[in-house]
Amino acid sequence: MRKKLWLNLVLLLVIPGFLFIASCAKKTVTSESAATKAVEDDSAQKAKAAEKASQQELAKQRAIEMQNLKEQQATREKMAAKNMFVNEDISFDFDKYNLLPLAQQVLQRKADWLWNNPDVSVIIEGHCDERGTNEYNLALGDRRAESAKTYLMNLGIAGSRLTTISYGEEKPVDSDHNEAAWAKNRRANLVIE
C-alpha cells in the first residue's frame, strides 16, 4: 500500500516531468526537420574534426615556423656577421699604412670570421683618398692591403686564403671632397672570392 503511494508520487512527479521534456523536445523537432538535423549533426562532427586537424596543422606549422625563425635568425646572424665582415672597413691615416688600434680590433673580428668560415678565400683591397698623386697612392694602397694581410696571417689565417689588390684612389666609397669623405676612403676592405 505504501509502495503504491510512492509509485503514485513518483509518477506524479515524473510524468509531468516527462511531459515537460516531451513538450520541449517537441518544440525543437517542430522547428527543424529531421533531415537537416542529421546533416547538422554530421557537419558539426566534420567541423570538429577539421578544427582538430587544422589545429594540429597549425601547431605543426608553428613548429616549422619556429624552426624557420630559428634558422632565419641563425642565417640573419650569419649574414650580419658576413655583412659586417665585408662592410666593416679598416681605416688609415693620410699617407700611412700602419694599423691603428681600431683597425686592429676590426681585423681581429675579421680573423674570427675567417676562422669560423675556413672554406672562404678573400681579396684584400687597399684604397686611398683622392689627395696626392694617383701613382703614389697605388703603392700606398698596395702597402695598406699588405699590412692587413700580414696582420691576419699573424692571427693564424693562412696566407693562401688572402690575396691583395691596390686600387689607389680609383674607387672611393664617398666621392665628396672633404675630410669626412677622405677618412672613409683611406681604407682596406675584404671581398669574398
Partner 1 sequence: MVSCLNISKIGSVSKAVNSCLSSFAVLFLLVLTALFLIIPPFCSAEYDYIDINNPFLKKIPIAIPSFKTVTENPAEKRLSVTTSGLLSETLEFTGYFKMLDHDAFLFDPEKSDITALNTNFQNWTDIGAELLITGLLEIKDDIVDIELRLYDTFKAKLLIGKKYKGLINDRRKIIRRFCSEVTYYLTGKSGVFNSKIAFISTGSGNKEIYICEFDGHNPVQKTHNKSITLSPAWSSDGKWIAYTSYKKGNPDLYIKNLAEKRGVVVAKKGINITPAWIPGKFALAATLSFSGDPEIYMLTGSGKIIKKLTDKWGIDVSPSWSPDGKKMAFVSNRSGKAQIYIKNIASNSVERLTFQGRYNTSPNWSPDGNKIAYCGMEKGEFNIYVINVDGSNLFQLTFNEGDNESPSWSPDGSLIAFNSNREGPHRLYVMTAYGTDQRRLLSLPGEQTNPKWSLNILNN
Interface with partner 1 by CB under 8 A: which residues? Answer: 95, 131-136, 138-140, 142-143, 146, 164-167, 170
Cell of 143: 702597402
* 117 closest CA partner among 150, 88, 81: 81
CB of 136 to partner 1, least distance (A): 5
C-beta closer to partner 1: residue 65 or 95 = 95
Rounded CA-CA distance 155/151 in Å is: 6
Q: Exposed/middle/buried for 111, CB within 10 Å: 0-12, 13-18, 19+? A: middle
- Residue 154: half-sphere exposure toward Cβ, Cα within 13 Å: 9
In the complex, least distance from residue 152 CB atom to partner 1, rounded to whole angstroms: 15
Distance of CA 136 to the CA centre of its chain: 44
CB of 173 to partner 1, least distance (A): 16
Indicate the residue among 88 and 146 with the shorter CB distance to partner 1.
Answer: 146
Residue 185 CB, shortest distance to partner 1, in Å, is 15
Nearer to partner 1, 113 or 186 (CB): 186
Taking the least distance from each CB to partner 1, the nearer of 120 and 123 is: 123
State the minimum distance, in angstroms, from the CB of residue 170 to partner 1.
Answer: 5
DSSP 2-50: HHHHHHHHHHHHHHHHHHHHHHHHHHHHHHS-HHHHHHHHHHHHHHHHH
| Pick 68 or 133: Cβ nearer partner 1 | 133
